């Protein structure tokens, strides 16, 4: 029987470098992972440079590359992807930003970049949407709340460019910056002017909003300014269904990843209780993926928590979370009609607390796969596998071939 579906599980930031706290090995190699090991034993393994050797990927550019969309062509900034992830439909040419609600003093000094980690900002975002008017510049906008203090802003209008700076000073105790064009061009200058006008008008609305007055009374930090960054222009993405002839879904907690799924035309499947952190309902993600595969050809699942531990430099926590991931993957052992791909999107070494270009381990398991001798899922074992060292953009073609959907090149 040939597998005819693809389940693609990305374990965000799972791979690492040797950690002193773990006796000089990686969290993945130190973790007890019987399920991942069985999948490795039943599949073909390798290591992978998600974009190319030596390139340190962001999660966004890595996921684009893994899905076969050249990030050098498609990626102009994180903003448009965050906008899609927040539910704003981005049309080609629209400019997107990722935003934060923050707190400034009356004098305009940033006191808290996350506005006391405010949770429910829907009323504030609605007030901004209803109250800010950019029509003088011929620009329409959509502003949406994201998780926690986060939000997204999309601009639509003639002659807008995306090469503009951020107003986020990235630290407290100073004034937000004025947004400027970072590249010559009337279009970029126009966007910068529109952004500054947006900040001016929205700040005025936020300062007098009842939600913020109430927060001040309770001694909480008011969410009285919008900091914006990650400007990018929405491009034209060849729809996933057209590119591969497959229907597909995306399951992820991070709006950046759901946004990437949505821009390429994957359907976003919400799962209750997923947080992108250690406490996420990751079992729910796997159940939702299995459910999606009943009707879809392709499902992308992103599991985030290990990346967070890497950024925090917590090797033991990372190892423990990897063991948690392993436990929820157990139902996959019984999965017979699909090709299962498991990999990282980049390494997030605890020793550097950021992403690195170290290649990530990858398993491809399913009917028709030529099994190799690897019986452990970790950076060292997978390096000895039958896939050898591949690049991220090679993954989808390999998977398509295994489900006999690859087009023949030549006669």
**Site of interaction with Zn ion (CB under 5 A):** 12-13, 59, 307, 345
Contact present, 161 and 187 (Cβ < 8 Å): yes
DSSP 181: B
Longest dimension (CA), the chain: 75
**116 or 344: whose CB is closer to Zn ion?**
344
Q: Please choose, from the candidates 185, 128, 136, 133, the residue with its C-alpha nearest in 3D space to the C-alpha of residue 160.
A: 185
Residue nearest to Zn ion (CB): 59
CB of 279 to Zn ion, least distance (A): 18
- H or E segment at 96? strand 95-104
Q: Which two tokens stand for residue 156?
A: 């639509």
Whose Cβ is closer to Zn ion: residue 113's or residue 318's?
A: 318
Of residues 306 and 398, the one with the C-beta less far from Zn ion: 306
Place of tokens 């807008």: 160
Min CB(346)–Zn ion separation in Å: 5
The burial class, CB within 10 Å (0-12 / 13-18 / 19+), for 135 is: exposed
Question: For residues 13 and 305, which CB has a smaller minimum distance to Zn ion in the complex?
Answer: 13
Q: Least distance to Zn ion from the beta carbon of 111, Å? A: 27
Pick between residue 141 and residue 321 the one whose CB is nearest to Zn ion: 321
- Compute the least distance from the CB of residue 226 to Zn ion, in Å: 24
The smaller minimum CB distance to Zn ion, of residues 30 and 360, is found at 360
> Distance between CA atoms of 248 and 297, rounded to whole angstroms?
6
3-class state of residue 24 by DSSP:
coil
Residue 123, C-beta contacts closer than 8 angstroms, at least 6 positions apart: 209, 211
Residue 151, C-beta contacts closer than 8 angstroms, at least 6 positions apart: 86, 98, 99, 100, 101, 121, 125, 143, 144, 145, 226
Nearest CB to Zn ion, comparing residues 60 and 297: 60
Q: What is the token pair recorded at 320? A: 């423990």
Smallest distance, Zn ion to C-beta of residue 280, A: 14
- In whole angstroms, the minimum distance from the beta carbon of 110 to Zn ion comes to 24
CB of 375 to Zn ion, least distance (A): 26
**From the CB of 344, what's the least distance to Zn ion, in Å?**
8
Residues ≥6 apart with Cβ < 8 Å to 91: 156, 234
**Token pair 């000073």 is at which residue?**
169
Q: How far is Cα 12 from Cα 329, in angstroms, rounded to an integer?
A: 15
Q: Which is nearer to Zn ion, 358 or 372 (CB)?
A: 358
């Amino acid at each position: 029987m040939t597998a005819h579906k693809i389940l693609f599980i990305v374990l965000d930031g799972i791979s690492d470098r040797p950690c002193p706290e773990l006796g000089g090995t990686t969290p993945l190699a130190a973790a007890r992972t019987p399920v991942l090991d069985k999948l490795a034993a039943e599949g073909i393994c390798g290591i992978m440079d998600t974009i190319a050797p030596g390139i340190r990927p962001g999660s966004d550019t890595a996921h684009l590359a893994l899905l076969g969309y050249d990030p050098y062509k498609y990626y102009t900034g994180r903003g448009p992807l965050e906008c899609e992830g927040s539910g704003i439909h981005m049309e080609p040419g629209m400019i997107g930003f990722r935003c934060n609600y923050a707190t400034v003093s009356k004098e305009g000094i940033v006191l808290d970049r996350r506005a006391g980690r405010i949770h429910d900002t829907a009323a504030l975002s609605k007030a901004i949407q209803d109250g800010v008017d950019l029509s003088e510049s011929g620009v329409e906008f959509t502003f949406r709340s994201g998780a926690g203090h986060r939000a997204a802003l999309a601009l639509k209008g003639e002659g807008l460019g995306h090469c503009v700076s951020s107003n986020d000073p990235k630290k407290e105790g100073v004034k937000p910056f004025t947004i400027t064009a970072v590249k010559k061009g009337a279009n970029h200058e126009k966007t910068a002017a529109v952004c500054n006008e947006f900040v001016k008008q929205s700040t005025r609305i936020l300062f007098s909003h009842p939600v913020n007055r109430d927060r001040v009374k309770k001694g909480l930090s008011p969410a009285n300014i919008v900091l914006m960054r990650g400007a990018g222009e929405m491009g034209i993405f060849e729809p996933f269904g057209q590119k591969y002839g497959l229907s597909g879904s995306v399951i992820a907690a991070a709006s950046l990843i759901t946004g990437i799924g949505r821009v390429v035309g994957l359907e976003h499947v919400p799962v209750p209780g997923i947080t992108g952190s250690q406490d996420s309902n990751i079992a729910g993600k796997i159940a939702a993926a299995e459910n999606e595969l009943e009707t879809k050809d392709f499902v992308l699942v992103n599991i985030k928590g290990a990346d967070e531990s890497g950024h925090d430099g917590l090797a033991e926590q990372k190892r423990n979370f990897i063991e948690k991931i392993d436990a929820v993957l157990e139902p996959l052992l019984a999965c017979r009609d699909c090709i299962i791909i498991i990999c990282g999107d980049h390494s997030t070494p605890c020793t550097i607390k950021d992403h690195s270009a170290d290649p990530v381990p990858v398993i491809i398991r399913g009917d028709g796969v030529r099994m190799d001798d690897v019986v452990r899922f970790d950076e060292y074992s997978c390096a000895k596998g039958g896939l050898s060292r591949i690049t991220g953009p090679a993954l989808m073609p390999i998977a398509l071939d295994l489900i006999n959907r690859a087009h023949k090149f030549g006669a």
